[in-house]
Amino acid sequence: MSDGFLIALMAAAVRMAMPILYAALGGLFSERSGVVNIGLEGMMLVGALGGVIGSYLSGSAWVGLLVAMLAGGLLALIHAYFSITLKVDQVVTAIALNILAIGLSSFLFRGMFGITTIPVTVDGFSNYPVPVLSELPGIGQILFNQNILVYLGLLLVPVSWFVLYRTSLGLAIRSVGENPKAADTLGVNVVLIRYGCVIFSGMMAGLGGSFLSLGQFNMFVDNMVAGRGYIAVAAVIFGKYRPGGILVAALLFGVADALQVRLQAMGADIPYQFLLMLPYVVTILALTGLVGRNSAPAASGKAYARE
């Protein structure tokens, strides 16, 4: 393999990791506050559509981004209401939302643009090479000749870490996820924190979805998220519920994805499907604790009721 191939591969891997990274960082906050969010898939999907609609109507991809966050956040609000207020099972709620999102996104898309065979393309985010840094050999192409959403995503990793581990808000979030009763006793508003985290996770998933529609394809296609939301859920677990770990997990999925695209294109006689399976296998191994300790928040998935 030549250097050029490797650099192009890694640059593509970083790009492909981004939708997963965004959604997984959002999912991290939701999980850390004790709410399982399998609904990331649906929230990404409405985000992907929201991005296209916003960009189409305003002509600005930035407005698209805002609409995407709003759409993801709204779906997350429903998830929060059902799982926190009504205390309904979080998994079942999320699955219903994912089914709803498939229908809703397709419906709204057709409602706006009619049934058309010509894809509606919109303004997206094009590459913005960082001055000086993008000139660096190798790494410059991989990390610094990307679109602005890539930089933002990478930046959010340390920011998430800082918020979770160095602020009182982060402490409150983590305590609510580990022991809501104790947190409540200490005056932390469990319901408010959980609502906030779930809605934030939806906004981030919406961003991740709009990365697909505005940062990669510049259009919306039915069900275009295609399981990336579930991968994001896996990335949170595989990343051991830490921002840095999640980045590594998202990149692993990105590399596997980018590599298989290239292997297929080259017609290489390698069963690339096993490569695609790898991240899922590793996630299962992470779950079993065979690769390090299982580190899920103690109150994950449990609704909180004051006695």
Residue 86 touching another protein (CB under 8 A): yes
| Gyration radius (Cα) of the chain, Å | 19
17 contacts another protein (rule: CB under 8 A): no
By the 10 Å C-beta count (0-12 exposed, 13-18 middle, 19+ buried), 88 is classed as middle
Identity of the residue, 65 or 303, whose beta carbon is nearer to another protein in the bound complex: 303
23: amino acid identity, one letter: A
Which of the stretches 9-17, 121-129, 144-152, 232-240 binds another protein when contact is defined by CB under 8 A? 232-240
Binding another protein (rule: CB under 8 A), the pick from 8, 63, 91, 163 is 91
Segment near another protein (CB under 8 A); pick from 8-16, 144-152, 176-184, 280-288: 280-288
Confirm or reject binding of residue 233 to another protein (CB under 8 A).
Answer: yes
Residue nearer to another protein on the CB measure, 96 or 154: 96
- Residue 240 one-letter amino acid: K
- How far is the C-alpha of 146 from the C-alpha of 138, rounded, in Å? 13
Residue 22 found at the interface with another protein (CB under 8 A): no
CB atoms within 10 A of CB 276: 14
Give the nearer residue to another protein in terms of CB position, either 106 or 134: 106
Residue 219, φ and ψ in degrees, nearest 5: -165, 170
How far is it, in rounded angstroms, from Cα 75 to Cα 103?
13
State the minimum distance, in angstroms, from the CB of residue 132 to another protein. Answer: 41
Q: What's the Cα-to-Cα distance from 219 to each of 160, 276, 284, rounded to whole Å?
A: 29, 25, 33
Answer for which of 5, 162, 165, 274 binds another protein (CB under 8 A) is 274
Cβ nearer to another protein, comparing 46 with 122: 46
Helices 168-178 and 3-32, interaxial angle, to 10°? 70
Residue 297: name the closest of 216, 236, 219 by CA: 236
Contacting positions for another protein (CB under 8 A): 36, 38, 78, 82, 86-89, 91-93, 95-104, 106-107, 110-111, 115, 222, 227, 230, 233-234, 237, 271, 273-274, 276-277, 280-281, 283-284, 287-290, 294, 296
